[in-house]
Structure 1
Amino acid sequence: MQVEVVEDFFGVYLLYCINPKYKGKTYIGYTRDPNRRIMQHNRGTWAGGAYRTSNRGPWKMVLIVHGFPNNISALRFEWAWQNPTKTIRLQHLNLKKIPRKETEFQFKLRILTEMLRVGPWYRLPLIIRWLEKDYYEEFPTERIPPEHMKICHGPIKSRNIKKPGQESSSSSTHIECLLCSNYITNCSSKLTCLNPECDLLAHITCLADLFLQPGEFVPIQGNCPFCDTYLKWGDLIRKMKGCNNDIDVSDNLNEINDYSEINDNQVNDNSDEDVISTQDKEFVDNESKWLLEWDNDNL
């Protein structure tokens, strides 16, 4: 099976233990490099694995949710998935313990399906990727993720984009935005239409302004101002980042500061080498990509 390469990767994963002594145990974590992360978990804490998974493997990374705009967004999702009884987003479920009819794995999947359908996550263009087909379970019809989210299968490889200042000057562009007539000086802020025959070139902010509906901070969908093709905002962002080039145009973020458990500390490292999980270590990178951070007052 072909490995899909995703740029600027931020993911929250679910591990499943296949050790007979601990079989059925699960672990939720955050990573920028899923292939390296699963090796760390299986090698132990000496290799950067988490304390809770050390000496209990082997583990399999069966599912990963990605498409988060930055690690702040991903880490908040991770914390809520780990702590469904504490997050205010899931209080309506009245969760206290795992029902007897559910395994720990099924319980974690049920929590995930609920999280994907409540704010602020239901607005994000997330991808739910099954990495191990033997563990795949269909979402119940009453808890199917929003239509703009994708459910897919197969391996993945991350390729993280260099931060500003690390790129060579030759990578900059001076293309005219066809919406505001100003130059697009950074490739990471340029959007193009999914229709290969369309000439649209625009700043991400210019197109967002056209797609935004009253009361929204981040768009979900809209029609191309040039060819009138129906476009999903998440598909445009994924194309801008160099992934999902097989998007069918015919098929066609509001993340808010929410959890006090995660500190807003600047981090200069662009990897997750020192980042285990919010269960093991607090970590946040305040650098905003295509997502704007909003105060709780904007909920």
Structure 2
Amino acid sequence: MVVEVEGFYGVYMLYCHPKKYKGRIYIGFTVNPSGASSSTMVANTKGGPGRPAVGAPGEDMVLIVHGFPNDIAALRFEWAWQHPHVSRRLTHVPRKTKKQSSFDFHLFVLYHMLRVAPWNRLPLTLRWLRQEYHRELPPLLQPPLHMPLVFGQVRARPIPKSQGRAAEKGEGGNLQDVAPQRCQVCYHEVQDDCLRCFHPGCALTAHILCLAKLFLRNEPGNLIPVEGVCPSCDRSVLWGDLVRYKKGCYGDLEDISTSQVRPAPALIHLMPHIHYRRFSRFCQKELPPLKPLPDVDEKC
């Protein structure tokens, strides 16, 4: 199953197969995951700063982290993943050991990155594109619960300009045809900089800063909310989903709704692309572990 994501910004990991370069890892940024591998191969043959001169076919795009709000945030994540011992955010990460493969080390760095600021507050998704490479996460390195861990291919889909404008203006699509709206948090008039709830029938309109302060009232030390309760419909919402909805991203609404509703246990194995840990959270019981997958036989 291929999932389409609008407003796509991702950072991926490639694994090299050719005998001369077997086990070599490449970290890159893309807005088009379906074309990233081939474009990376062209770039590698030409050479470039920080890029291994692979220059041979046989690369697997193993996983990709997506959900970044913009390209700047994704590029900063890419740089830190490539240079963990230079980034001031990752000074606590141990260096690679002789017994540790390059693949395992880069995974180890990634797991640490998802747990530290500022990335632990972003609405990211960790997607395994090739399930045979999957590694079980250590209990102490589990990503935050708001970050889905999913399997399967992903395809970027551009946001239609008309769709983005309609999301900014609300359901009517024309601000001149409706009466001025008021923020449901501060009750002042709302201009262009506002958020709306994506739940059907919810009429929430709020200033971004007002809603952020409301969501962070129990977390005064943070700047970016993770989730909160809509003051209009009283349903739980993820901050990242509200921002994506503001930008005109409607393709993820089906996945968003599954995170708000307690699923039937019988449906868990029918939806492998949905966050497995989130199911155990809402079912309020321990779920059977996923079957272990074969290890990658490589050393670097």
Establish whether TM, by shorter chain, passes 0.5: yes
Structure 2: gaps of 5 or more residues: 263-300
Structure 2 counterpart SS, 1:56: coil
**Alignment counterpart, residue 137 of structure 1, candidates 128, 135, 138:** 135
Instruction: Tell me the distance in 2 between the aligned counterparts of 1:215 and 1:44.
Output: 42
Matches within 5 A, 1:100-179: 100-161=98-159, 173-174=174-175, 176=181, 179=184
Residues 244 and 83 (structure 1 numbering): CA distance in 2 closer, same or farther, change over 3 Å?
A: same
Give 1 or 2: higher helix fraction. 2
- The offset of 1:63, in angstroms, is 0.6
* 1:280 counterpart residue number: none
Residues 219 and 167 (structure 1 numbering): CA distance in 2 closer, same or farther, change over 3 Å?
A: closer
* 1:83 counterpart residue number: 83
Deviations 1:57-103 (A, max 9, x none): 321111111111111111111111111111111212342xx213321
Residues 7 and 204 (structure 1 numbering): CA distance in 2 closer, same or farther, change over 3 Å?
A: farther
* 1:237 counterpart residue number: 243
TM-score if structure 2 supplies the norm length? 0.70
- The offset of 1:229, in angstroms, is 1.4
Contact kept in structure 2, 1:13 and 1:28, CA below 8 Å:
yes
Residues 209 and 203 (structure 1 numbering): CA distance in 2 closer, same or farther, change over 3 Å?
A: same
Residues 115 and 225 (structure 1 numbering): CA distance in 2 closer, same or farther, change over 3 Å?
A: same
Deviations 1:100-119 (A, max 9, x none): 33211011000000011111
Instruction: Tell me the distance in 1 between the aligned counterparts of 2:47 and 2:206.
Output: 42
Contact kept in structure 1, 2:196 and 2:203, CA below 8 Å:
no
Residue identity over aligned pairs, in percent, reads 41
Instruction: Tell me the distance in 2 between the aligned counterparts of 1:110 and 1:45.
Output: 25
Structure 2 counterpart SS, 1:21: helix
Instruction: Tell me the distance in 1 between the aligned counterparts of 2:208 and 2:11.
Output: 26
* 2:273 counterpart residue number: none
Matches within 5 A, 1:189-204: 190-194=195-199, 196-204=200-208
Residues 7 and 80 (structure 1 numbering): CA distance in 2 closer, same or farther, change over 3 Å?
A: same
Contact kept in structure 1, 2:93 and 2:109, CA below 8 Å:
no
Instruction: Tell me the distance in 1 between the aligned counterparts of 2:160 and 2:236.
Output: 31
Residues 77 and 178 (structure 1 numbering): CA distance in 2 closer, same or farther, change over 3 Å?
A: same
Contact kept in structure 1, 2:227 and 2:238, CA below 8 Å:
yes
Instruction: Tell me the distance in 1 between the aligned counterparts of 2:45 and 2:161.
Output: 29
TM-score if structure 1 supplies the norm length? 0.71
- The offset of 1:239, in angstroms, is 4.2
* 1:74 counterpart residue number: 74
Structure 2 counterpart SS, 1:14: strand
Contact kept in structure 2, 1:40 and 1:48, CA below 8 Å:
no
* 2:97 counterpart residue number: 99
Structure 1: gaps of 5 or more residues: 253-299
Residues 177 and 68 (structure 1 numbering): CA distance in 2 closer, same or farther, change over 3 Å?
A: farther
**Alignment counterpart, residue 222 of structure 2, candidates 199, 216, 219:** 216
Letter of the structure 1 residue corresponding to residue 133 of structure 2: Y
User: What RMSD in Å do the two structures reach over aligned CA positions?
Assistant: 3.2
**Alignment counterpart, residue 250 of structure 1, candidates 239, 257, 260:** 260
Structure 1 counterpart SS, 2:112: helix
- The offset of 1:167, in angstroms, is 7.0
Contact kept in structure 1, 2:5 and 2:155, CA below 8 Å:
yes
Structure 2 counterpart SS, 1:109: helix
Letter of the structure 2 residue corresponding to residue 231 of structure 1: V
